[in-house]
Amino acid sequence: MRVLKEVLTKKEKNKEYINVAIIGSGWFGSGLIRELYQWPCLVPKLIITRTKKRALKALIYAGVENSEITEAKSVKEYHRAVKENKFVISENLELTKELKDIDVVFEATGIIGVGAECAVNTINQGIHFLTANIEMDATIGFAIDRLAKDKGVVYSAGDGDQPAVLSRMIDEIELYGFKVIVAGSCKGFLDVHQTPEGVKPWVRPGHNPKIVASFADGTKQALEMTSLANSRDLFPDIRGMHGPVTTKKTLVKDFLKIIKQEGIVDYAMGIKAIDEAAGVFVIGKRKGEFVSADLDYLKKGKGPYYLFFRGHHLCYFETAKSIAEAVLFNTATLPHKNRVADVLSVAKKDLKAGEKLDGIGSFTVYGIIDKTENLFPVGLSECAVLKKDIDKDTLITFDMVDFPEENIVLDLRKEEENILKN
């Protein structure tokens, strides 16, 4: 971080700015707009959003003068605004096809189709593309990453969410010589049948009920752990993961009782001390006479299994790190290695033939993680219509669904399948 700060501060002093385009100005996107303006050198120059008022409010709150901001409805208007050195707000996604003076795009919509379109448009111009859209990353991230590598740019999920935070933790403890046994996140509540209607009492202003429902029904966590697994060659130990009810004090012991293999992703339930239900953890293993004696002296326990725990992840407050590293060092915070895990679709209720599925955080399906199989991924569920009746809590397979229309998400998933076969 010190090196990053020094490089950014020097570039700021020399007026060498990194111009960032942000797609989406919901809770995450608006927060990122405000935060970028606090960092040296990073400038939120273009905001593409369905909620222009929210984007304008975020820019003004960050300290941008109203006179410096303009709206662009067309590509022509956008290019004119760039020449005038304006901050631009637009509802037009077509702008992502002809970006001007943009060094990196950050997408924060949580909508897989929108994220996929923006990713392809951006990367094809040789511009780095980062995202908070773990839904997209877990579904088609490998195909997008391959495209980015071919174009010589970075594709990555951004820091601040659990997968990237855990990836940084793993980098550190592996550098210290520890082997990763379990990497996971903490969860305070789980109801796989929860719906957008049911979570309404807990939806804060600016938050999407479907996204909140995906937290509550476990789908979001399954997607996050899938992205981490595919980045670090880790695996779910069992379908759906274990998720033991535990405490920080007993976490290592409780996991060692139940896991069947080392190098897994999972989650812990019930860790509420000091409000650490938003925490992430890694169980690392290292043997050695001096190692065990000295780590015990340093209050890490007798080993050979040790807990590394971070009691928070700070979402958009941390994301600027990934944005800066992509541009300055051509580095992905959450690189893609392989697809070793996937998030499968399960019926949230009894479903009927002809019914259209309504996607992640919906009324119809929830997702569970498993090793890669030829089952129906939850990231494609909003594109599908059922061919047959399905009972509640039944795994959905490809032969149970039709896709009425082709779309970019399906195309990229097919491309990913072809890549992984070869």
Residue 315 lies in a domain: no
pLDDT in tens, 276-330: 668 999 999 999 989 999 999 999 999 999 999 998 899 999 999 999 999 999 9
pLDDT in tens, 168-182: 999 999 999 999 999
Q: Give the end of a domain, one of 146, 161, 176.
A: 161
Shared domain for 188 and 264, answered yes or no, is yes
Count of the separate structural domains present in the chain:
3
Best CA proximity match to 391, nearest among 358, 361, 347, 356: 347
C-alpha to C-alpha distance for 324 and 7, rounded to whole angstroms: 10
Run of H or E residues at 341? strand 341-347
Contacts of 42 (CB under 8 A, 6+ apart): 8, 17, 18, 20, 36, 320, 323, 324
Burial of 84 (0-12, 13-18, 19+ CB in 10 A): exposed
pLDDT value at residue 277: 62
pLDDT in tens, 8-17: 999 999 999 9
pLDDT in tens, 73-98: 999 999 999 999 999 999 999 999 99
Shared domain for 13 and 119, answered yes or no, is yes
Residue 370 lies in a domain: yes
* Cβ atoms 344, 375 nearer than 8 A: yes
Q: Is the pLDDT of residue 274 over 90?
A: no
Calculate the CA dihedral of residues 116, 121, 125, 129 and round it to 10 degrees.
-30
* Domain housing 373: 341-421
Best CA proximity match to 161, nearest among 136, 190, 202, 133: 133
Answer yes or no: pTM beyond 0.85.
yes
Q: Give the end of a domain, one of 103, 132, 161.
A: 161
Shared domain for 54 and 193, answered yes or no, is no
pLDDT value at residue 5: 93
C-alpha to C-alpha distance for 105 and 323, rounded to whole angstroms: 8
> Phi and psi of 346, rounded to 5°?
-130, 140
Shared domain for 306 and 387, answered yes or no, is no
pLDDT in tens, 367-397: 999 997 778 999 999 999 999 999 999 999 9
* Cβ atoms 403, 366 nearer than 8 A: no
Helices (runs of H) and strands (runs of E) counted in the chain: 13, 16
Calculate what percentage of the chain has a pLDDT beyond 70. Answer: 99
Q: Is the pLDDT of residue 273 over 70?
A: no
* Bridge partners of residue 183, in order along the sequence: 265, 282
The enclosing domain of 90 has a CATH number of 3.40.50.720
Shared domain for 79 and 203, answered yes or no, is no
pLDDT in tens, 15-67: 999 999 999 999 999 999 999 988 999 999 999 999 999 999 999 999 999 99
Shared domain for 351 and 398, answered yes or no, is yes
Query: What's the mean per-residue pLDDT of the chain?
Result: 94
> Phi and psi of 322, rounded to 5°?
-65, -40
pLDDT value at residue 136: 97
Residue 8 lies in a domain: yes
C-alpha to C-alpha distance for 379 and 145, rounded to whole angstroms: 17
CA atoms within 13 A on the CB side of 376: 25
